[in-house]
Amino acid sequence: MFSKPTRCEKIIQFGEGGFLRGFVDWIVQLTNEATDFNAGVVVVQPIEKGMCDQLEAQNCVYTHMMRGIKNGAPTVITKKIDCISRTVQPYQSWDSYLALAENRDFRFVVSNTTESGIAFDEKDLPEKAPHITFPAKLTLLLKKRFELGLDGFVFLPCELIDKNGSTLKSCVLRYAELWGLGKGFIKWLEEKNTFCNTLVDRIVTGYPHGEEAEPGWPQDKMLNTSEIFHLWVIEGPNWIVKEFPFDKADLNILVTDDLERYRTRKVRILNGAHTAMIPYALLSGVETVGDCMDNAEISAFVKRCVYEEIIPTLDLPKEELLDYAENVFERFCNPFIKHRCASIALNSVSKFKVRVLPSLLEYIRRTGKMPENLLFSFAKLIEFYKTDMTDDDPEVTAFMKTADVRTILANEKLWGEDVSFLTEEVERRVNA
């Protein structure tokens, strides 16, 4: 099963973890099969210890398994992924890493170095390589590319931070200034490279430990699993699809000049639904998201939140919003993913501020009415913080546990503004 075709190396990938292998590499695989893209991926291990040795032991070939609900029924779809040509480990061979700059066929750079990976550290110096940040490593690769007189790259970072592409570019430019790499290099960075902001959406669950004993289970130590749903929104120029023709592979990928409305959709509907229902669920003794969907009362409640009070505050076409919401609830029902409510409840106050409160306030602004369900969710959040089940900053926990409703709502530090005008509405719903 570990044989593979030889392909033209076009993509440098920083990160060998489950997400990129179950998202970007899966996308490349399907694009290769549907078109003449014929792209090979070279995986760079961004940290000293990782899984590249395990990948190489299988010729960089592995099985990806998607599991979820499709057309109302539990579905499992497997795909052999053979688009990774090789791996490079900078901590073992820095020269092999820098040699990537010499290949003029490389066009795209993808990454997932965790939320803290795209960072600038003024203590980073070239002579410390490879023990420097991901953007610093990247700056040195780009410097060599520039010195060779080659064009730059299209960057498609997948880190879960706002404006990931712009942030990555900013870090690279700061290193160029810090290290005195010259105006010519900076001009080349600006003119010959394209840094795209992206939004990724897929739950990748990695290797399914504990299931190996099942009959017919693949003998694949790099086996990867995910849900079926996927979405990649790329804020960048339309010509990207001419070079990376994923539009011909029946994939849920959008290239847009306005990513923010899609980020808002995800945060308000997907994340907002989670955050709105979790305190209510835990107060009711419900343990997983799947259990929430099986609970008629909680399921009906969270659907009212989304369909009646969140969607009316968003500006994308209604049909598009309804379709996304249907996908969200289908994902919540995925029997293959045990998403514990307690883990989602981490830092619920800050999550409520970002994910739910904007919908609540926008609903009032647009309709002049009070959103019954989102206010109930706010009440349940406060009620939840009066218990010992919370997992949050000790200062936040102590305040929420002892303060009355009006004092909690007036705390601008927690909510970004004084929302005590909601006191009577929230108090009516506490312990309701």
pLDDT at 1: 55
Give the closest residue to 25 by CA, choosing from 102, 110, 91: 110
Q: What are phi and psi of 244, to 5 degrees?
A: -125, 85
Answer yes or no: pTM beyond 0.85: yes
CATH number reported for the structural domain that contains residue 71 in this entry: 3.40.50.720
Is 2 a member of any domain? no
Do the domain assignments include residue 115? yes
Q: How many CB atoms lie within 10 A of CB 44?
A: 25
* pLDDT tens per residue, range 347-370: 999 999 999 999 999 999 999 999
Q: What CATH number does residue 279 fall under?
A: 1.10.1040.10
Confidence bin at 134 (pLDDT 50/70/90): very high
Q: Can you say whether the dihedral through the CA atoms of 113, 116, 120, 123 is positive or negative? A: negative
Q: Tell me: do 267 and 248 sit in the same domain.
A: no
**Structural domain includes residue 57:** yes
Indicate the pairing of strand 62-70 with strand 224-226: parallel
pLDDT at position 215, please? 63
Strands 197-201 and 204-206, sheet pairing = unpaired
Same domain, 342 and 248: no
Total domain count, the chain: 2
**Dihedral, 378, 384, 386, 392 alpha carbons, nearest 10:** -100
Amino acid, single-letter form, for residue 351: K
The answer to whether residue 31 is domain-embedded is yes
Confidence of residue 210 (pLDDT cuts 50, 70, 90): confident
- 230 and 348 both lie in a single domain: no
Residue 70 three-state SS:
strand
**In contact, 42 and 85? CB cutoff 8 Å:** yes
Residues 32, 62 within the same domain: yes
Is residue 346 in some structural domain? yes
Domain extent, residue 313, equals 260-429
**Nearest alpha carbon to residue 33 among 76, 79, 65, 85:** 79
CB-CB contact of 289 with 344 (8 Å): yes
The answer on 224 and 321 residing in a single domain is no
Contact, 277 vs 380, CB < 8 A?
Answer: no
Got the DSSP string for 225-279?
Answer: EE-S--EEEEES-TTHHHHS-GGGTT--EEEES--HHHHHHIIIIIIHHHHHHHH
Tell me the pLDDT of the chain averaged across its residues.
95
The answer to whether position 195 is within a domain reads: yes
Same domain, 310 and 209: no
Confidence of residue 110 (pLDDT cuts 50, 70, 90): very high
The reported pLDDT for the residue numbered 217 is 66
Instruction: Kindly state the average pLDDT of the residues 187-215.
Output: 89
pLDDT for residue 33: 98
Q: Are 309 and 363 within 8 A, CB to CB? A: yes
Secondary structure letter of residue 371 according to DSSP: -
Would you say residue 216 has pLDDT above 70?
no
Residue 162 forms part of a structural domain? yes
Q: Are residues 85 and 128 in the same domain?
A: yes
Report the distance separating Cα 222 and Cα 201, nearest Å: 22
